[in-house]
Structures are given as C-alpha cells and as structure tokens.
Amino acid sequence: MSEKQSINFLRGVPAEEALSRLIPMASEGYEKVIRRYGTDVLQYGHFTGFKPLRDLIGSFHRVDPERVIVGNGGLEVISLFFKSLPRESNIIVEEASYDRVLLDAKCYGHHLIGVKLTPEGIDLNQFRDLANKNAVAAFYGIPFHQNPTGINYTEENRKDVERICREYGIPCVWDICYQALRYDGKTNGSIEVSEWGPILTSSFTKTISPGTKCGYMIVPNHYVGHLSGIIANTRINPNLPTQAFIADFIESRRYDDFVKYLCNLYRPRMEALNTALNSQFPGAFPVAISGGFFAPLTLENISSDKEATFIESAKQAGVGVAAAWDALPPNCKEEKRKKGLFIRLTFPAYEPDKIEWGILSLKETADRLA
Ligand SMILES: Cc1ncc(COP(=O)(O)O)c(C=O)c1O
C-alpha cells in the first residue's frame, strides 16, 4: 500500500540529509574544541561571544572584532538590540518581514511601521517620507532572499536605503542570514560596513544547523558598551562550546564546503518551486526565487471568511500551510488582507517532486473553494 503524500510548507527547516551529513563533523568538532579550549569554553566568560569566532567574523566583514557580538542565534542578538532601544521606539520594517522579529519587537513596546517592498528592494520615496514624518529608532530589513517574499534587493536600492538612514540618523539593520544561500549560480555581493554602519546581523542556523543556535551582530564602536551591558544583564555568556565549534568549522574550511553543498542540494528544489508556482499560480508571487528558504503566495480567491476552511482542506489533503498575518506590520495588514490569503512557503527540506505535488494540491484546494 502506498503511503499518503504530505508536505509541510510551514516551518523553514534545513533538509534532514544536510543535518545528517553534519553529524560526524559536529561530533568531531565539538570534541576537538572542548579538548583544545578546555575550561575556557566550559566556564563563564566571553560575554559578547567567543573571542576567536569574533575575530574570524570581524576579518570576514573587515571590521574591528570589538564591534562583533556573537550570541545564541540571530533572533537573540536582534532581540538584545531591540531591548537596547528606548521602550516604545518606532521601527521601520518591510511590509512583510520575519514574523518572530516583529513579535519580539512588540514585546519591548516598539511600534512597527511597514514600508512597501518592490522587486528591487523597498519603496524609497515612501521610506524617505516615513523617515521625515516619524522619530525612527531603527530600520530592520532582510536584503538577501527576503523572508518571506524571497526578494533580493538590488545593490543600488540597498545603498540608497543606507544613504537615507544616514541622512536621518536612523540605525540601518541588515539581517543577512540568507546572503550565502543563493542557488542560481550567482553570488550575492558583500555589504561594506563603515564606522557609522550599517549594523549587520546574521545567523548560522540555516548555513550549519538550527540546533547549534549561533548568530551575530556588528554594531558601531560607540554602541558596543551599551549593548554589552544589556547582554550581561540578560544572559551573561552565550553557548561557548558551540561558538568554538563554529570557529573551528570555519577555520578548517569545512564551513565553505558545507555551504556549497547546501546550495547544490537546494538548487533543484528552488527550481521545482519556481516552476510549480509559475504554472499553478502565475502572477501570484512577485519574483522568481533565487535562494534562501521562502516564497510568498497570495491566494486571491481565498477571502477571510474562507481562510480557515482552506487551511483545513489543505491539511486534509496532506499540505501544511498557515496564514502569514504575523509577518505584517499593523499599517500593512488591512490592505494585504483585501488581496486574499497570504501564506509563506518553504522548500529546502523537500525533494522537487514533493514540492510540485504540494503546490498542485494547494491549487486544487483553492479551486474547489472558489
Ligand atoms: C530573517 C531571519 N533572521 C533570523 C532568523 C533566526 O535565526 P536564529 O535561528 O539564528 O535565531 C531567521 C530564521 O528563520 C530568519 O529567517
């Protein structure tokens, strides 16, 4: 008897086979660094991150390693940054963004203001207007393979955003955690960091493993003291054995090889997703996906009243999806809701044929409810 097909488009997890491939390297790596660094990684210390890893990240981004804060994941360092801002600050974000970052910002009472996305990046006129009319404490954007829209900013748009931020004295935070994960054979350019900024934040969750939980942030020199104080009062030191393992993984060049392996593994999955979306939902997603973990989909014929039924019917058919309303800042929700059900699809964990089957099932489910 054949097993019932199913796919869960909800959680952006790395492929199981990639994590399995990591097992011998991680086992060996953790043992090696605990023997090498001993109590230095088992004791309290290195509050702003394991020094050898900060040095490596500093030289990769060509900045003073004192500016590098390494923590327990991208989300943690972003959260610490939000915590470091005055409560109830205004933060400009993209019209659709990483939902957990938005939820976290709200925990500190911050107000989120959404700026429109275009296939090139953000709408610069609207951004300037928002910067003009509001006292803004930070802009947070995801310039490479944006979560959830998959948009890759052009270099021109990115630099214009930085220029406007600088003009208005707004800290510009670029979350670059998908920068290395490009699968169309091209490479994303690097972002130059000066003393002013931009602030960079990234994570090894998608390039190594979510379980190891490590991410970092590069802030201006003058901000290090303030942020370090917040860190020391929040969690003292981060997970040091993990950071020592990652430093060794990078130094031994296994990291670069692993990222290359991931890009090759995910390429056919991305191509299957693009092909399936183009044929089943032409025009319903803004750009061809070129990397990262996500693609957005707006189902025009699924209005609010049909939302729950659609999600349940998809589940019965074996396809896990959810409304992505948490990914939208308050000022963008209403307009987006009028356009139909907005969902986020993830693809790297699934074989191409499963992805094609899943998109087709979504189309059939949507058609049945039309
Ligand atoms: C844009 C973005 N930033 C940060 C993260 C979180 O990374 P971490 O697991 O290291 O907290 C993710 C994870 O999905 C993400 O999509």
Structural domains of the chain ordered from first start? 20-255 (3.40.640.10), 265-369 (3.90.1150.10)
175 CB under 6 A from ligand 1? Answer: yes
12 CB under 6 A from ligand 1? Answer: yes
What pLDDT sits at residue 2?
A: 56
The rounded Å distance from CA 200 to ligand 1 centre is 13
**19: closest CA among 357, 363, 352, 348?**
348
Asked if residue 171 has pLDDT above 70, the reply is yes
- The pLDDT tens digits of the residues spanning 3-48 come to 789 999 998 999 999 999 999 999 999 999 999 999 999 999 999 9
The rounded Å distance from CA 1 to ligand 1 centre is 39
What pLDDT sits at residue 287?
A: 82
Mean pLDDT of the chain: 96
98 CB under 6 A from ligand 1? Answer: yes
HEC string for 297-365: EEECCCCHHHHHHHHHHHHHCCEECCECHHHCCHHHHHHHHHCCEEEEEECCCCCHHHHHHHHHHHHHH
* β-bridge pairing 111-115 and 136-141: unpaired
Q: What percent of the chain has pLDDT over 90?
A: 96
In sequence order, the 6+-apart residues with CB closer than 8 A to the CB of 1 are none
What pLDDT sits at residue 370?
A: 80
- The pLDDT tens digits of the residues spanning 195-210 come to 999 999 999 999 999 9
What pLDDT sits at residue 285?
A: 74
- The pLDDT tens digits of the residues spanning 277-317 come to 999 999 877 789 999 999 999 999 999 999 999 999 999 99
What pLDDT sits at residue 357?
A: 97
Banded model confidence at residue 125, pLDDT cuts 50, 70, 90: very high
